[in-house]
Structure 1
């Protein structure tokens, strides 16, 4: 696994132009690296996961003219599109764009003393990094309306209760819990994880008939014959028991 840091601790790990470039470049590198099976995304320091956009650079962030080259890509969507599972390790406040980064990850585990929310409406704005689209897909339309239109911030316990995060842990155990999740993902066939993520990300976008057709094609063609045989043989030797990656044994509080 690899750990990717949002590394601006003196600025609450807020999103500026350089951060978007650095995250995009790192995601490309990690996605190409066959030794990386899972990515943990967290904030540098011990107070903030990400405090949202750096308002001092907001014009550069929202204007295409202010972004050059490959960094034009929406880095939050890039997180979602990486072929490998991405776990948000929410080690502190995740507000605005920080919450939207977490929403784009495949799983979210949160420190039990952290808070998360989309408070933009309190400042006369609205989420602009996918919050209005990803949040209702995750927690349902009614709850998303409540959170976005009131700007309410959630504790870790409240976020867990509505399904916004998948697990919580004491701050000192948070990375261990995330690594336990990553370990259970990392021993699966990489081609199956990538194909599964692709299919699931499109599941709510396609009519059922198109989704089923895509599923048949992807499942039929995923992996090389050698890769499929390798993992079939491995599965014969492995124990068939299953344990939730969010169980207390993985270091998460439920």
Structure 2
């Protein structure tokens, strides 16, 4: 395990998979500015590693993340706090924009900011006992780390309004039904299932995965005509790659392809 920055995040490199950990287990991985900066650096390192085809986002210890550190949130309104309010949105944008798909493993706790932390991930695996929801309206504010913008794109406006405006936890099975999470598993199996899911992605063509992520992320940001043109452009980029040829040769020869990301 490689410690990152101030030591509040870590990366476990596993051949073609990288496991990124929130590493503040004594505080249930509650997010401070240092932790968020460390996570941003961790995902930048993942993005720069050509060998990595997929990544996970996990919490060290028994919980995924308790949300924002409450003392930090109390103090951030003070004029001399020195707390950079852009750190969290920059982290979320980094996760969203890295080339590799990211699988979040949500065990036990993921309220408020922790909930928003999972939204830019491409896939979400959740434990049956997880407390998962946006509580901000019960704390005198509302979710403004992407919750009101990313969530409707995942579950529709009506479901998003219910989650945001009631401030109640979302039952994991209901989250799966509305498409917010991809799998519900036993709590003790969350991390391993997230890793296995990422390993399955690693079996696919890395260049295909990266361009597919780019096209899908752009789908709701562009009119259909522009989106289709962008999709074709990204597809044409792969026509003269070794992986494209390997994929079709392997299918014709009835064998597993050996993709190299070239």
* Common topology (TM > 0.5): yes
1:178-231 superposed Cα distances (whole Å, 9 cap, x missing partner): 222112210111111010001100100101111111111111113753232233
Shift of 1:72: 8.4
Instruction: Look up the match of 1:228.
Output: 244
Correspondent of 2:72 among 57, 65, 68: 57
Q: Which of 129-138 and 33-42 deviates more?
A: 33-42
Residue 50 (structure 2) aligns with = 34
1:98 counterpart residue number: 114
Cα distance in 1, alignment partners of residues 133 and 228 from structure 2? 35
Aligned 8 A contact 1:191 1:223 in 2:
no
The SS at the match of 2:170 is: strand
Query: Comparing both structures, which one devotes a greater share of its residues to helix?
Result: 1
Q: Is the 8 A contact 1:17 1:61 kept in 2?
A: no
Shift of 1:55: 3.1
Instruction: State the Cα RMSD in Å.
Output: 2.6
**Paired residues, number:** 238
1:193 to 186, 209, 214: 209
Deviation at 1:12, TM superposition (A): 2.2
CA distance in 2, matches of 1:62, 1:135: 30
Residue 126 in 1 paired to residue 142 in 2? yes
TM-score, normalising length: structure 2: 0.83
**2:232 maps to what in 1?**
216
Q: How many angstroms does 1:174 deviate by?
A: 2.1
Tell me the CA shift for residue 119 of structure 1: 0.6
Given the alignment, which residue of 177, 181, 185 partners 1:169? 185
Shift of 1:62: 11
Query: Structure 1 residues 137, 71: closer, same or farther in 2, change over 3 A?
Result: closer
Separation in structure 1 between the aligned mates of residue 173 and residue 83 of structure 2, nearest angstrom: 39
Unaligned runs of 5+ in 1: 241-254
Structure 2: any 5+ residue segments left out of the alignment?
1-16, 258-262
Is the contact between residue 31 and residue 67 of structure 2 (CA under 8 Å) also seen in structure 1? yes
Is the Cα contact below 8 Å between 1:79 and 1:86 reproduced in 2? yes
Q: Partners in 1 of 2:89 and 2:113 — Cα distance? A: 16
